[in-house]
Amino acid sequence: MVTNVSNSKHGHLGEEPHTPASSAPSSERTGKRVVALLFIATGVTAAAAAAVMPVLIAGDNGQPLAQQEGAVLAGLVAGTAALLWFAVLLCLLRPGERLAADVHLLANSKAGNGRVDPEDYPDLAPLPDAINALAERLATSRRDLDRAIVDTARCQAEHSSRLAAVLRDLDEGVMVCNLDHQVLLLNPAALRLLHAGEAGETGSGAPLPGRALFSLMLADPVCHTLDRLSRRGSGEPTQPGPSARFIGGTPDGHVLLDGRMSLILDDGPPVAAEATVTGYVLTFTDATRELAALGRRDALLHATTEALRTPLANLRAVMETLEDCPDLEGEARTHLEAAMLGECQALTARLERITEQYRATIVGTWPMSDLRSHTLIDLVRHRIAGRRNIVVTPAGMPCLLHGDSFSLVVLLDHLVEQVSLVTGATAFDLAADAAARWTYLDLSWAGERVPGTTIDRWKTESLAATLGGLTVGDVLRHHRSDLWSEAQPDGRARLRLPLPPAEEPAEAAPRPVPDLIDPSSFPAHQQPPPATDLASRPLQDLEFVVFDIEATGANPIDGDEIVAIAAVRVVNRRILTGETFQALVNPGRPISPEAVRRHGITAQQVHNHPNITTILPQFKAFAGNAVMVGHHAGLELAFLRLREHACGVRFDNPVLDTRLLSLWLQGQNADHSLDGVARRLGIATIDRHTALGDCLTTAAVLVAMLELLPDRGLATLGDVLREADKLLAFDAKESLL
Amino acid sequence: MKPTILVADDEPSILLSLQVLLQKAGFLVRIARDGEEAMAALEESMPNLILLDAMMPKRDGFDVCQTIRANPAYKDLPIIMLTAKSRDVEREKGMALGATDYITKPFSTRDLVSTVRKYLEHGQT
């Protein structure tokens, strides 16, 4: 019997049941039959001999006694043979059969720790011990093999994850293809560069890995390069990893690619033999801009050299003619003089064009990217902090612009210091203002504007040593920009720095996010009239905290909880982007899929964050007694007020709802969603459907409305709240009807 | 008899200047404002030398030069190409297509007149 070392039940080795009887080889059965036949033949022969022997000894006159003795002897011999057969069968053949079955089990067992019990086969000793020794060796080999497989798999998984990380972080697109030009592997950058979208969501609907390469990339350059590399190897050993550069493109011709192809060679053949190409790796970058810039540089070079030669030749010829022929008179002289003037004008115009092209080329070659204005402003603020008691306050609506972040930060730092030296101002606002053609960076202060001659002098000054001696003017030129200072109302002045707007759109087309809010469900912010002094103060003088809440769903009464709160302070019609509140909150309950689609915050993102009892008091401390402003403030407030008691805080601040204000300004028929209102007021939105992004958009809406409301007769907070109450009452009636 | 120079260029200023200067230097001057006019003028009567601008409308100077050289009758006619193209390869191309000399704009008209004289006195060599 076989014993499993870890599981002492007999005969259970591994998971594969083995039935030795049914699978006993036919040779074994044949062998047993031969042994049995041999025994029968031996027995019959011995019995016959025993029967005949007495008769032969008795001679020719055989006696009956001798015949009887012969019969008895024959019977004894036959009986002995039969007994002997049974003994062999029981002691050797049957145990041998069982032992063979056990050895089969050992050989086929996956457990690998079985052994044969020698006590089960006492007559076959020392065969079981020999088999156990063999089984032990087999088990050891199997364990080594398993360990090697596991190690190899782990090693391969590590390599794969490292490779995946490298590929994911690469800015270059990478694709691995087979010789049928099917994509086997590609990284996110490849998807982005080829404008192929997410896997499986492309035009043809085929998932990207496995998809035909030539639906993503022009076939000819790839085939040509592959052919070139393959031919290079013919007749001589193919060098490991041969590669070549090529210029490719997307089939729609919109993107030019600077690519490199490397062949994947079969590892198998010896060094001397010609290696087999099994596929290729493509790495590529978007060269559209570089090639366009190269083209522009080439055109510029042409313009500055060859294109100037002709007018210069004309001019020189005319002047030399006039000089060599002083006595030239009449029509010829008039023509030549007119030609001289014409050529001078043509040269001037050409010079202007060259200058313009040069500027465009400089901008095209300086490393620039899209930047978030508030990040840039924050960097400036931190760089200046503490120096000469200068304080820079970030203000305005965040937007995107295009430039070189580092040189702009150094430039703004320098400008703040220069303005401070010239005007004596120490408190500055730094804001971005997105207009149609430019995005302005405005540095403003209380005081006089800076004279133009002073700014012209600044342009020749070198910036910090870190910029390699670049001057203010150089940085401005690289950004195709300029600087000027102008007086502002309220005794303020500003320095304007126009910058190119972002090249990428601020936001992709708005996601089709269903509005979770039914405006009529939460008209809940009817509020007691504010203190008289607050109610009578002009709107522009109030301090506002614009806030936005994201939640697990849209129904606070039925248990939906807050997952994120963000807020920004607005003072003197300035959005103080440096004074914001942002917190993620663990809601202690699942987040509905609709809500996740809307704000993108998942349970995993919030599960390590504090719960609302921690966050709400912090938020109240930030809000203080400011007027709180929200778009659909009713719903937002419902979330806050339902948790007031549990958190030990009270939100009794006056509240403004920008949706109600929009309703009051535009009437019932306009689009009063936040996107609709922002669009109408010409406010570019970024990071919509994030709590901070939404509240910055709401803040910009509020600032724009603060300009409009006094002209429409709402000058104080009291005025606004009275009209809001009327609108709420009207809304309530409408919903009843 | 005065040698005849055919000047082919689409720039009126240089055309007029060369006409005046070459006439003053003692040559007869015929002018053409594009490649086709140059070929027509050539067929009308053979000049002693051609000053040929490379970049002209209708047929460029390289094409005209090649066509002239294809005709054995004009085998020894000196052709001086005038061009704003300054790259070595352009010069190479002009010479390969049969130009006797290749002068890059802007040039000195005095040097040009000297060069014209040289080729008229010594032929293409």
What DSSP line would sit under A540-554, residue for residue? Answer: GGSEEEEEEEEESSS
Two structure tokens written together for A668: 């019932």
User: What is the per-residue pLDDT for A730?
Assistant: 60
pLDDT given at position A716: 86
Give φ, ψ of A628 to 5 degrees.
Answer: -90, 140
Average pLDDT over residues B16-34: 92
Contact A324 B109 (CB under 8 A): yes
Q: Is the peptide bond before A269 cis (omega within 30 degrees of 0)?
A: no
To the nearest whole angstrom, how far is the Cα of B85 from the nearest Cα of chain A? Answer: 6
| Stretch A233-244: mean pLDDT | 57
Within chain A, what is the greatest distance between any pair of CA atoms?
178
User: Are the C-beta atoms of residues A548 and A636 closer than 8 Å to each other?
Assistant: yes
Tell if the CB–CB gap between B18 and A317 is shorter than 8 Å. yes
Residues of B in Cβ contact (< 8 Å) with A317 = 13-14, 17-18, 21, 106, 109
Decide if pLDDT at A208 tops 90: no
- Is the pLDDT reported for residue B80 higher than 90? yes
Helix (H, G, I), strand (E, B) or coil at A174: strand
| Cβ count within 10 A of residue A61 | 6
The tokens describing A428, both together, are 């500055």
> Which residues in chain B touch residue A343, judged by CB atoms under 8 angstroms apart?
13
Q: What is the DSSP letter of A297?
A: H
Residue A302 pLDDT greater than 80, yes or no: no
When scoring B11, B17, B105 by the number of chain A Cβ atoms within 10 A, the one with the most, hence best to mutate, is B17
Q: What is the pLDDT of residue A308?
A: 81
What percentage of chain A has pLDDT greater than the value 90?
Answer: 9
Cα atoms found within 13 Å of the Cα of residue A290, Cβ hemisphere only:
9
Minimum CA–CA partner of A331 in chain B:
B16
Q: In this structure, what token pair is assigned to residue A512?
A: 């089709």
Q: Is B65 exposed, middle or buried (0-12, 13-18, 19+ CB in 10 A)?
A: buried
Closest partner residue to A321 (CB to CB) among B84, B107, B109 is B109
Q: Which of A63-77, A577-591, A690-704 has the lowest mean pLDDT?
A: A63-77
Arithmetic mean of pLDDT, A64-84: 80
Report d(CA A458, CA A594) in Å as an integer: 55
Best A298, A308, A315, A321 member to test B by mutation, with max B CBs in 10 Å, is A321
Pairing relation of β-strands A256-265 and A243-249? antiparallel
Q: Contact B86/A318, CB-based, under 8 Å?
A: no
Three-state secondary structure call for residue A256: strand
Q: Closest Cα of chain A to B67: distance in Å? A: 25
Strand, helix or coil for residue A366: coil
CA-CA distance, A610 to A261, in Å (whole number)? 51
Whether residue A374 is predicted with pLDDT greater than 50 in this model: the reply is: yes
A396 versus B24: the higher-pLDDT residue is: B24
- Return the bridge partners of A570, or none: A544, A575
CB under 8 Å to A636, separation ≥6 — which residues? A547, A548, A549, A630
Residues counted in chain A: 737
Distance from CA of residue A263 to its chain's centroid?
Answer: 28
- DSSP helix/strand/coil, A709: coil
The answer to whether the Cβ–Cβ distance between B20 and A320 falls below 8 Å is no
Integer Cα distance of B101 and A317 in angstroms = 19
Whether the CB of A342 is below 8 Å from some CB of chain B: the reply is yes
A720 pLDDT tier (thresholds 50, 70, 90): confident
Contact partners, residue A581, CB within 8 Å, separation at least 6: A547, A565, A566, A567, A568, A618, A619, A622, A623
CB count in 10 Å sphere of residue A366 = 16
- Taking the Cβ of residue A335 and every Cβ of chain B, the question of whether any pair is shorter than 8 Å is answered with yes
| Closest-CA residue to A142 (of A104, A116, A114) | A114
Contact A328 B20 (CB under 8 A): yes
Alpha carbon distance A494, A448 (integer Å): 9
Name the band, by pLDDT with cuts 50, 70 and 90, for residue A401: confident
Q: Identify the DSSP state of A397.
A: -
| Nearest chain B Cα distance for residue A364, angstroms | 26
- Do B86 and A321 make contact, defined as CB atoms within 8 angstroms? no
Mean of the per-residue pLDDT values of chain A: 78
pLDDT band for position B49 (50/70/90)? very high
> Do B105 and A310 lie within an 8 Å CB cutoff?
yes
Most confident of A252-256, A298-302, A563-567: A563-567
CA distance A676 to chain B (A): 57
- How far A334 CA lies from chain B's nearest CA (Å)? 11
> Once rounded to an integer, what is the mean pLDDT over residues A9-14?
40
Tokens matching residue A517: 């809010």
Q: With bands split at pLDDT 50, 70 and 90, how would you rate the model's confidence at A20?
A: very low
Ordered alpha helix ranges (H), A286-372: 288-304, 306-324, 330-365
Nearest to A313 among B12, B21, B107 (CB): B107
Most confident of A50-54, A103-107, A357-361, A587-591: A587-591
- Residue B46 Cα, gap to closest chain A Cα (Å): 26
What confidence score (pLDDT) does residue A363 get?
A: 59
Closest partner residue to A321 (CB to CB) among B12, B20, B105 is: B20
Mean pLDDT in chain B? 88
**Helix or strand holding residue A627 (H, E):** strand A627-630
Instruction: Give me the pLDDT at residue B109, please.
Output: 87
Lowest mean pLDDT among A525-534, A640-649, B7-16, B22-31: A525-534
Q: Is the pLDDT of residue A93 over 90?
A: no
Mutation pick from A310, A336, A340 vs chain B, by most beta carbons of B within 10 Å, is A310
Task: Give the pair of three-digit tokens for residue A290.
Answer: 């570089």
A103 token code pair: 């050895």
- The confidence score (pLDDT) of residue A518 equals 41
Higher pLDDT, A291 or A631: A631
Segment A619-628 shows an average pLDDT of: 90
Using a CB-CB cut-off of 8 Å, the residues of chain B touching A302 are none
**Which of A198-212, A252-266, A322-336, A446-460 is the most confident on average?**
A446-460
Least confident stretch, A181-185, A513-517, A581-585, B9-13: A513-517
Interchain CB distance below 8 Å, A313 and B12: no
Distances (CA, A) of A707 to A199, A416, A672, A727: 48, 28, 18, 21
- What domains sit in chain B, N to C, each tagged with a CATH number? 4-122 (3.40.50.2300)
For residues A492-498, average pLDDT: 91
Whether the CB-CB separation of A67 and A90 falls below 8 Å is answered with no
Q: Given the DSSP bridges, would you call strands A562-571 and A574-584 parallel, antiparallel or unpaired? A: antiparallel
Closest-approach residue (CA) in chain B for A319: B17
Residues with Cβ within 8 Å of A187's Cβ and at least 6 positions away in sequence, in order, are A167, A168, A170, A173, A174, A175
Amino acid at A549: I
Q: Nearest by CB to B13, which of A309, A332, A339?
A: A339
Q: A521-533 pLDDT, tens per residue?
A: 444 455 656 666 7
Q: Which residue has the tokens 């087979």?
A: A178
**Tokens encoding A221:** 């350059």
List CB contacts (< 8 A) between A340 and chain B: 13
For residues A407 and A413, what is the distance between their CA atoms, to the nearest angstrom? 10
Cβ contact A314–B13 (<8 Å)? yes
pLDDT at residue A2 greater than cutoff 70 = no
Distance from C-alpha of A329 to C-alpha of A384, rounded to nearest angstrom: 71
Return the percent helix, strand and coil in chain B, to nearest 5: 45, 20, 35
Helix (H) or strand (E) holding A280: strand A277-286
Phi, psi of A493 (to 5 degrees): -140, 160
Of A664, A619, A655, residue with least CA distance to A635: A655
* Rounded Cα gap, residues A231 and A261, in angstroms: 14
More confident residue, B52 or A483: B52
Angle at A471 (CA atoms; ends A466, A473), nearest 5 degrees: 140
pLDDT over threshold 70, residue A362? no
* Euclidean distance between CA atoms A517 and A657, whole angstroms: 14
Q: Which helix (H) or strand (E) holds A114?
A: strand A114-116
Contact state of A317 with B13 under an 8 Å Cβ cutoff: yes
Sign of CA dihedral A318, A320, A322, A328: negative
Cβ-based burial of A544 (10 A; exposed 0-12, middle 13-18, buried ≥19): buried
Question: Do residues A131 and A101 make contact, with C-beta atoms less than 8 angstroms apart?
Answer: no
The residue with greater pLDDT, A397 or A112, is: A397
Q: How would residue B88 be classed by pLDDT, with cut points 50, 70 and 90?
A: low
State whether residue A336 sits within 8 Å of chain B by CB: yes
CA angle in degrees (0–180, nearest 5) for A213-A217-A222: 80
Q: What is the mean pLDDT of residues A321-340?
A: 84
- Chain B CB contacts of A334 under 8 Å are none
Question: With the CA atoms of A632, A635, A641 and A647 taken in that order, what torsion angle do they form, in degrees rounded to the nearest 10?
Answer: -100
Per-residue pLDDT band at A5 (split at 50, 70, 90): very low
Q: What is the pLDDT of residue A416?
A: 94
Tokens representing residue A679 in the block: 């669009």
CB A114 within 8 Å of CB A13: yes
Instruction: Supply the pLDDT for residue A245.
Output: 84
Long-range contacts of A729-734 (CB under 8 A, 24+ apart): A731/A519, A731/A520, A731/A523, A732/A520, A732/A523
3-state class (DSSP) for residue A186: strand
Chain B residues contacting A via beta carbons under 8 Å: 11-14, 16-18, 20-21, 24, 55, 82, 84-86, 104-110
Indicate whether A624 pLDDT > 80. yes
Say which residue the tokens 């457990």 belong to: A111
| Pick from A305, A340, A342: CB nearest B86 | A305
Asked if pLDDT for residue B110 goes beyond 70, the answer is: yes
Is the peptide bond preceding residue B106 cis, with omega within 30 degrees of 0? yes
pLDDT, average across residues A590-609: 84
Are B24 and A342 an interchain contact pair (Cβ–Cβ within 8 Å)? Answer: no
Q: Which two tokens stand for residue A537?
A: 């103060």
Residue A98 CB: number of other CB atoms within 10 A? 18
Interface with chain B: mutation pick from A301, A304, A309, highest number of B CBs within 10 Å: A309
Q: How far apart are the first and last CA of chain A?
A: 89
Q: Report the gap between the CA of A327 and the closest CA in chain B (Å).
A: 11
Please answer yes or no on whether B17 and A321 come within 8 Å at the CB atom. Answer: yes
> How many angstroms separate the CA atoms of A682 and A706, rounded?
15
Task: Kindly report the nearest CA distance between residue A339 and chain B, in angstroms.
Answer: 6
Residue A594 parent element (H or E):
helix A593-599
Assign A354 a pLDDT band (cuts: 50, 70, 90): confident
Decide if A324 and B105 are in contact by the 8 Å CB cutoff.
no
Put simply, the answer to whether A336 touches B106 (Cβ < 8 Å) is no
Q: What is the pLDDT of residue A527?
A: 60
